[in-house]
Structure 1
Amino acid sequence: MTAVMYQRLLAPLLLVSLALPARGADLVALSPQTVDRFLPQGKEVDGIYGDFALANDQLIAVVAHPKRGRNANMGVREVGGALIDLTRRDRQSDQLSAFYPGAQLREFKFAGIEVEAPKMYEVGELDRVFVQARRVTLKLVAAPREKEPDVEVSYTLEDGWPSVLVTTTFANRGTTPIDADLLDAIRADHSFESSPEVSTPLFWAYDKHFGQAYGVAAEGLEILAANARRLLLRYRDHDGKTSVRIAPGATYRFARRVIPGANLFDVRRVADQLAGKKDRPVRLTVKDEAGRPVSEADVVLALSGKPYAWGRTNDAGQVQMSANEAAGELTVSAVGHGSKTVALAPDSPETLAVEVPVAATVVARITDGEGKDTPCKVQFLGRDGTKSPDFGPDSGEHAVKNVYYSHDGRFRRDLEPGSYDVIVSYGPEYDAVFAKVDAKRGEETLLEAKLVRSVKTDGWISADFHSHSSPSGDNTASQFGRVLNLLCEQIDFAPCTEHNRLSTYEPHLKRLGAERRMATCVGMELTGLPLPLNHQNAFPLVLRPYTQDNGGPTADSDSEIQIDRLAFWDGGSDKLVQVNHPDLGWMFHDRNGDGTLDTGFAAMRGKMDVIEVHPLHTIFAKPTTQAGGKTHNNTVVNWLQLLNRGHRIPGVVNTDAHYNFHGSGFLRNYLRSPTDDPAEIRTLDVVHAAERGNLVMTSGPFLEVELRAEGGAGAAAIPGNDLSAPGGEAMLKVRVQCPNWFDVDRVQVFLNGHPSESLNFTRESAPGRFSDGVLKFEQEIPLRLDRDTHVVVAAIGERSTLGPVMGPDHAKDKPVAVSNPIFVDVDGGDFKPSGDPLGELPVKGGR
């Protein structure tokens, strides 16, 4: 073994080339020259420049640069020295959030590199490491602590190894014995299954939906996993001890293998090989009775009646496994194909075939009103005793629970034979299609639908300024799935706003060939504490790929400092700064939360361009609401109070979606735009329209509001604009459109935040003002104002709901739209806010 230790100031650049076979193990620092080759693919990839990649012909692993403040994402923090990316090379699908050696209890620093049989060795600064050898080892040391052992952690990879060797060495440099806990932590979240909470020689975690499994096996030790969001792995010896006592001057070494695989069969096979068990590979092929391969079939191997290992078939209907020394049973199941159980004997042939029934298949051909391909959301709901299908988890992509998101309206999907209600939709500008499908085994059923755009939104575009996916760190939803969700809900503009990390949707739109269907830009949500105040979105921002947070600013516990940092990021560039889901009482009136009015977080006000004010239906309620035995501030009414106090901050609504099962779509903003074509949208046009308040907030209805001074020759004012109306006479034009799946039955005009009794129109009290078609309400309403007034219009379906089109979580939501205010100057001077508190001013929520 040749040991080469790195010292930052003394080590010269060393380059050695030896004649070795082409294969080997690599250890490189990720850099612009190496990142494309050595950063793996997958939903949870977090490697950046300066991290270390270990790779061979079997796998790729990334160890985070060992320094304080190296965060994988908002939810997976302080990963310096941890294993953060790991996947097999032949089927890359990194789903590992982090493997923390020692459970993140110590800080690490770089300690050196060891190589055996080097082929190439180049070490300059830490960002210029490129080592190629038969075996490579990255060594780290933990910061020393009194009364604790010294700790060294190493990551080793050798040519041909299917696992990474992680070794921890404890050393007692003191004069008295020291105890050391044997533990690690692993983050593999949400849709992962994992080992039961029993002592086992192999810990495993497996996400069948994204095709990635992980195993941890320790030499001479068993593992007890505590199942929680962070899985704590405790190692214990044959005496049941989970710690070791180290004598003065002694050392203790324990090693474990971290194993990636496409499924649990892969992980079990490697673990068995490490344990010296015989490996007799068996390739199983699953086909239907017509001879067609069945992909995504779950294959479970049970030994002695207990599940032992499982996986899913690939596109060829195949999965690789091992014939164990004990006889077992294989159960094969797939959506639409039922299940079948066969024996797996120790002497089974190397190739096996299982035949399952032919499925019922739906073939979709969804078009727009002109017969062209269109994005769409298709829901399958079982009826007459048929269960609704479960295609996959809420973190998924095209197939999510009982929903299929199609970017072009064309797909095939196997179903269990039976009867289904089918809902085809493309957001609230389109009529939904409600159909029935009787799916029969062995038959293809054609699902045809034409999505007609019934709601006309000329001059306006739809936008959602706030949604998330896996890079945010507080969820595991596929970002590709988020883009599909937005696209299939017909959102025209959506910035990418992950928590505390800049990111972009552009590669996903390009993959779908949908760049011209949805406009986007780089943005982020800067997320700090406290929660109801210190979350702010901003876009557009400058992406600096493969740097910490992709070049975004860091959060701060001081809300005023944080929003200032965000507003002036990128040299004070032109951007929209949005305050997310705020408690407006706390923010504006009660800084210390004591229930007494004060100046609030005054320094934040000049930095925020818009604020979220949902839920919109509560605009008809009081400034505070009761829930769970507590008093809560009513954000949308609090916003009206702010307007009366002279804070002209436009309101917005957004989904804040974190998962992909109807996550996007149930809220949106309509902004005035010089173009209706998403391909022509310019981000700064969106920014400036939002800053002006040329915006209507909605859960579905398309509300248009114009106000013109009576007898005036000037242009009509739209939401966000000022209007001069000497004498106070003006004509308000209100127009509401809805598709065929919800209704609006009330239109209310608010004057300086007050719902005017004379300007409250309902289907019951004024049936002649409402219609039953797409156009629900179109009226010109005279206003007579005796003072400067801001005018807000709300439209709601009080006897309607969004229904099943928006999924079970939002089916009972009221269709409601609220305009931003039009500011009417009556007395000929500048607009003067009324100062009317609208009742009790809000203070800190949750009293």
Structure 2
Amino acid sequence: MVGFDPSPEITLPSLFDTTGVFRDQNDIVPFGLTAFGYTDASGAVSFDLEPGSYQVVVSRGTEYSSFEAPVMITAGVTTNVAAQIGRVIDTTGFVSSDFHVHGIASADSRVNQTDRVFQFAGEGVDNVVMTDHHVHTDLDPRIAALGFSPFLASTIGEEITTWDSGHYNAYPMTIDASRPSGGSTDWGKAAPPGMDFTAYGAYIATPSEVDALAAASATATPDTLVQINHIDSHFVPLEIDTSLVPPASAISAFAKERFRIDPTTGNLYHHFPALELWNGASRGHQSEFLDGRIGIWFNLLNQGLLTTFIADTDTHRYANLRSAGARTWTAASTDSPPSISDAEIAQSVLAGKATGGQGIYVQARLVANEDPGLVADLTLAGSTLVSITDAVAGVDLEIDVQAPAWAEYDRIEVYANAGTVADIAVPQLFTATPTVVLDAGVDFTVTSTNVFPAVPGATRLDASVSVSFASLAGDTWFVVVVRGRDGVSRPMFPIYPRDLDTGSNTTLADLIDGNLGEDGTMALGATNALYVDADGVPGFQAPLAP
């Protein structure tokens, strides 16, 4: 419900973090919304509102249209709204997952399993990977009990949470019913009672050892993999410079000891198959991705350290709607929740067959100009690498973008063996410079497609672009980023409601006027890398490979 609460809750001024003390203080509904609710499996929901004028908005995340209508609430009267929305984005061959989700089993979350099921089914996510801190959670029984099995599946994971070297996401996992944690990973290493201190030569697992521990766990599966979560909490404290060839950590022996890492350990860089580059739902989370993390990924690609980009939320709370955030689509044989395969999801992550977004769904493919039958794409049956013999003719990069009408976009950026720029203040973080920049209305056209004429507003914003890359100097990787820019495209409020400017939105009319140039969360999507082998040497030879 868009509008203003006639009698808002009192906020408590405090010099201290109220986390875990007052839920109504640390889990607040985003500005511009008075209330929200998620429907049951039949599509019904009810909640109370104070009398007044509001705008009711019904949505189901990136793949769906939205329903919007004014509503007047009268005291003592039940107001009924019948809404219809349509799935306007075609994601055939891909399944959406949130790879980083916390619930009541995590010490820093109080969201119960029922709320998590309602929430992610309502946000249109096909599969939720439960990654509680040091706990293995199986959400499937609760999904089934609530009747949501046709709409939502889950994967068992674990966030292996070290204090100093970062957080590591392991999935898919299983449950060890004999252990209270369900089978968590002991990154502290075994030591006699009272002897687990560095003074006694007891140290925690290094990053490479964490990876090995997860793979060797009794609760691991043949497809278990580990991704680094919110990667700056790993690369920055360990002082890992990914622009070095090979990447290396500069952390001193003293600092290693302080982190409870064996000070005689050498280079702490370890190559993980996936990196959580974008986690969250806000402008700030998007900025973290584009301004500090994307260049880390590109540094690795430039060295031939092929790594999969993951977008997700890292949600811990409920009312702040962080769950309405980034997600990743992986290549799959089906996106029907009862038939979703954990193994297939993991295999697609390992293969880099994935694309991420919030409001935007983008796909790309490389087509050889010497033979249109030579293709690289992100599909399950395809290959992310295309080999060509005519580097002069090169390849065409074909880009297809879809978004619901409420997620406007106006820029496409192509990165090809892109260079990176280190952050002056935090030199372990890197941004990147696009190789090609395309703007709507100049370089490409966004068309509106009426997907379901009988459903008001069930339209899609489509764009298809082909960019030629001829006279390739060598093997090349390609990544596509699509986004809406402030002042050019409207933010995605209220479907993705975070960060709307408060000063320019003081009335209901202000809130529903499109909010152009008034901050808010902008549409954003990015592909994983595609590769062209153009140098005559079999396989991908990265430009900076040692």
Task: Name the TM tier (shorter chain).
Answer: 0.7 to 0.9
* Alpha-carbon distance in structure 2 between the residues aligned to 1:425 and 1:707: 34
Q: Match of 2:298?
A: 640
Give how far 1:665 is off.
2.8
* Alpha-carbon distance in structure 1 between the residues aligned to 2:448 and 2:44: 33
The alignment partner of 1:664 has SS state of coil
Query: Could you tell me which amino acid in structure 1 is paired with residue 326 of structure 2?
Result: L
* Alpha-carbon distance in structure 1 between the residues aligned to 2:124 and 2:102: 17
Match of 1:614 among 271, 274, 278: 278
* Alpha-carbon distance in structure 2 between the residues aligned to 1:441 and 1:624: 47
Residues 418 and 434, structure 2, Cα contact 8 Å, conserved in 1 = no
Match of 2:468 among 774, 779, 782: 782
Residues 525 and 538, structure 1, Cα contact 8 Å, conserved in 2 = yes
Residues 496 and 523, structure 1, Cα contact 8 Å, conserved in 2 = yes
Distance 1:713 1:599, change over 3 A: farther
Q: Match of 1:833?
A: 542
Distance 1:482 1:437, change over 3 A: same
Q: Match of 1:769?
A: 445
Give how far 1:826 is off.
0.3
Larger Rg: 1
Q: Match of 1:404?
A: 37
Residues 727 and 786, structure 1, Cα contact 8 Å, conserved in 2 = no
Match of 1:684 among 343, 346, 354: 343
Residues 395 and 477, structure 1, Cα contact 8 Å, conserved in 2 = no
Q: Match of 1:802?
A: 492
Matched, 1:539 2:171: yes
Q: Match of 1:420?
A: 54
Give how far 1:795 is off.
0.6
Distance 1:388 1:727, change over 3 A: farther
Match of 1:591 among 236, 249, 255: 249
TM-superposition CA deviations, 1:101-127 (whole Å, max 9, x none): xxxxxxxxxxxxxxxxxxxxxxxxxxx
Q: Match of 1:549?
A: 181
Structure 2 unmatched ranges of 5 or more: 11-22, 189-203, 254-264, 420-431, 450-459, 501-518
Q: Match of 1:565?
A: 213
Query: Could you tell me which amino acid in structure 2 is paired with residue 778 of structure 1?
Result: S
Residues 277 and 289, structure 2, Cα contact 8 Å, conserved in 1 = no
User: How many residues are paired up?
Assistant: 439
The alignment partner of 1:508 has SS state of helix
Q: Match of 2:138?
A: 504
Query: Could you tell me which amino acid in structure 2 is paired with residue 782 of structure 1?
Result: S
Give how far 1:461 is off.
1.3
Match of 1:812 among 507, 510, 520: 520
Residues 672 and 689, structure 1, Cα contact 8 Å, conserved in 2 = yes
Match of 1:744 among 402, 406, 409: 409
Give how far 1:718 is off.
1.3
Distance 1:638 1:475, change over 3 A: same
Give how far 1:663 is off.
2.5
1:312-351 to structure 2, matched below 5 A, reads none
Q: Match of 1:655?
A: 313
* Alpha-carbon distance in structure 1 between the residues aligned to 2:63 and 2:94: 12
Query: Could you tell me which amino acid in structure 2 is paired with residue 421 of structure 1?
Result: Q
* Alpha-carbon distance in structure 2 between the residues aligned to 1:735 and 1:637: 24
Match of 1:576 among 214, 219, 225: 225
Match of 2:115 among 460, 481, 489: 481
* Alpha-carbon distance in structure 2 between the residues aligned to 1:480 and 1:442: 29
Query: Could you tell me which amino acid in structure 1 is paired with residue 544 of structure 2?
Result: G
* Alpha-carbon distance in structure 2 between the residues aligned to 1:718 and 1:704: 8
Residues 134 and 185, structure 2, Cα contact 8 Å, conserved in 1 = yes
* Alpha-carbon distance in structure 2 between the residues aligned to 1:424 and 1:691: 36
TM-superposition CA deviations, 1:697-742 (whole Å, max 9, x none): 2122010111111132535211471111222311211011111212
Query: Could you tell me which amino acid in structure 2 is paired with residue 469 of structure 1?
Result: G
1:215-230 to structure 2, matched below 5 A, reads none
* Alpha-carbon distance in structure 1 between the residues aligned to 2:530 and 2:136: 34
* Alpha-carbon distance in structure 2 between the residues aligned to 1:611 and 1:477: 26
* Alpha-carbon distance in structure 2 between the residues aligned to 1:406 and 1:387: 25
Distance 1:765 1:387, change over 3 A: farther
TM-score normalised to structure 2 length: 0.73
The alignment partner of 1:421 has SS state of strand
Give how far 1:836 is off.
8.6
Q: Match of 1:723?
A: 386
Give how far 1:395 is off.
6.8
The alignment partner of 1:414 has SS state of coil
Query: Could you tell me which amino acid in structure 2 is paired with residue 508 of structure 1?
Result: R
Matched, 1:705 2:364: yes
Q: Match of 1:162?
A: none
Distance 1:668 1:508, change over 3 A: same
Q: Match of 1:81?
A: none
Residues 650 and 820, structure 1, Cα contact 8 Å, conserved in 2 = yes
The alignment partner of 2:168 has SS state of strand
TM-superposition CA deviations, 1:67-118 (whole Å, max 9, x none): xxxxxxxxxxxxxxxxxxxxxxxxxxxxxxxxxxxxxxxxxxxxxxxxxxxx
Identity of aligned residues (%): 24
* Alpha-carbon distance in structure 2 between the residues aligned to 1:498 and 1:721: 32
Distance 1:713 1:824, change over 3 A: same
TM-superposition CA deviations, 1:29-60 (whole Å, max 9, x none): xxxxxxxxxxxxxxxxxxxxxxxxxxxxxxxx
Give how far 1:680 is off.
1.3
Residues 279 and 326, structure 2, Cα contact 8 Å, conserved in 1 = no
Distance 1:495 1:711, change over 3 A: same
Distance 1:526 1:724, change over 3 A: same
Structure 1 unmatched ranges of 5 or more: 1-379, 626-633, 838-847
TM-superposition CA deviations, 1:487-541 (whole Å, max 9, x none): 11111111221100111111220121111211212221111121xx431111221
Q: Match of 1:759?
A: 436
* Alpha-carbon distance in structure 1 between the residues aligned to 2:284 and 2:522: 10
TM-superposition CA deviations, 1:763-791 (whole Å, max 9, x none): 2533x533355233112222212211001
* Alpha-carbon distance in structure 1 between the residues aligned to 2:367 and 2:94: 19
Residues 751 and 789, structure 1, Cα contact 8 Å, conserved in 2 = yes
* Alpha-carbon distance in structure 2 between the residues aligned to 1:449 and 1:725: 51
Residues 170 and 225, structure 2, Cα contact 8 Å, conserved in 1 = yes
TM-score normalised to structure 1 length: 0.48
Residues 381 and 389, structure 1, Cα contact 8 Å, conserved in 2 = no
Matched, 1:437 2:71: yes
Query: Could you tell me which amino acid in structure 2 is paired with residue 578 of structure 1?
Result: Q
Distance 1:622 1:538, change over 3 A: closer
Query: Could you tell me which amino acid in structure 2 is paired with residue 795 of structure 1?
Result: V
Residues 96 and 335, structure 2, Cα contact 8 Å, conserved in 1 = no
Residues 136 and 181, structure 2, Cα contact 8 Å, conserved in 1 = yes
Query: Could you tell me which amino acid in structure 2 is paired with residue 770 of structure 1?
Result: V
- Using the TM superposition, name which of 418-427 and 581-590 deviates more: 581-590
Q: Which has the higher contact order (CA 8 A, sep 6+)?
A: 2
Q: Match of 1:105?
A: none
